[in-house]
Amino acid sequence: MTDDLGWSEREFGYRFSDAGLLERALTHRSAGGNHNERLEYLGDAALSLVVAEALYERLPQAPEGHLSRLRASLVRRSSLGEIAREAGFPERLRLGSGELKSGGFRRESILSDALEAVLGAIYLDGGIEALRPVVLRLYGARLDELPAHEDLKDPKTLLQERLQARGLPLPRYELEAVAGEDHRQEFRISCAIEGMNDVSTGTGSSRRAAEQAAAAGMLAQLDG
C-alpha cells in the first residue's frame, strides 16, 4: 500500500490521508471484498463537475450545446481509458483470478471505472478543492487542445445538417439484419435519401452504432 501512495503522489500530485480509500478504489469487484463501484459512481459525478467548470471558464462564449459535447468527449470511456493507461493503472489494479487470466487489466471499461473510483476517493479524502487540481493535471493537454465545434458532431447530426443546407429530405434508416447471440449481436442498418440513388450501410454492436456508421458512409458518398 505504501507504494500505491507513492504512485498516487507521482501521478496525481495527491497524497491520501486515508490509505484505505485508495486501496478500495483500485479493487475491482472480481477481487471480492470492499470494491470500487460506489467510489466510481461518486468519481463520475465529481469529474463531470470539474470538467464542466473548466470548460465554462475557458470558453466564455461557447453555447451550452458545444460545452456539453466537449464535456462528453472528455469524460467518455475511451478518454478515461487512455488517461488510466498513461497513469499506470494496469499495474495497480486488484483483480480476481478470472479477470487476470482474461486480461481485465487491459480492458477499457475496468480502467476507466478505476480512474473514476480513484477520483471519487480523492474527493472523499480531500474534497472538491483537492480534486480540482488533480483533474486539471490529468486533462492538461486535452483541455489545451480542445477540438473544434464541427469535429464534435456525430455523423448522423452532420448528415442531417448537410442535407438541410442543400434543401434535401432527411435520411431514412432501416434495419437490414441482426446477427449473433443475444449478448453479442451485430446490427446492419441502411441509410437512404429520397430522390437519390445512393444507399449506404453500416454495422455495429447496437442499432445506434450501426446508424452512425451508415450515416458516415453516406457523408463519404456526398463528399465523393
Interacting residues of 26 by C-beta distance below 8 A, sequence separation 6+ = 4, 36, 89, 92, 93, 94, 114, 117, 118
Sheet holding 199-204, edge to edge: 172-179, 186-192, 199-204
Q: How many CB atoms lie within 10 A of CB 210?
A: 25
pLDDT (0 to 100) of residue 73: 85
Instruction: Tell me which of 153 and 121 has the higher pLDDT.
Output: 121
> C-alpha distances in angstroms, 70 versus 48, 62, 140?
11, 10, 14
Find out whether 133 and 158 touch, Cβ atoms under 8 Å: no
Catalytic residue among 11, 23, 40, 44: 44
pLDDT tens string 77-134? 889 999 999 999 999 999 999 888 888 888 889 999 999 999 999 999 999 999 999 9
- CA pair distance 21, 131, nearest whole angstrom: 14
List 11, 23, 116, 211, catalytic entry: 116
What is the overall mean pLDDT for the chain? 91
Annotated catalytic residue 116? yes
Q: Is 144 a catalytic residue?
A: no
- pTM (whole model) above 0.85: no
- What tens digit of pLDDT does each residue of 26-76 get? 999 999 889 999 999 999 999 999 999 999 999 998 889 889 888 988 998
Q: Pairing between strand 199-204 and 186-192?
A: antiparallel
Q: How does residue 7 score in pLDDT terms, banded at 50, 70 and 90?
A: very high
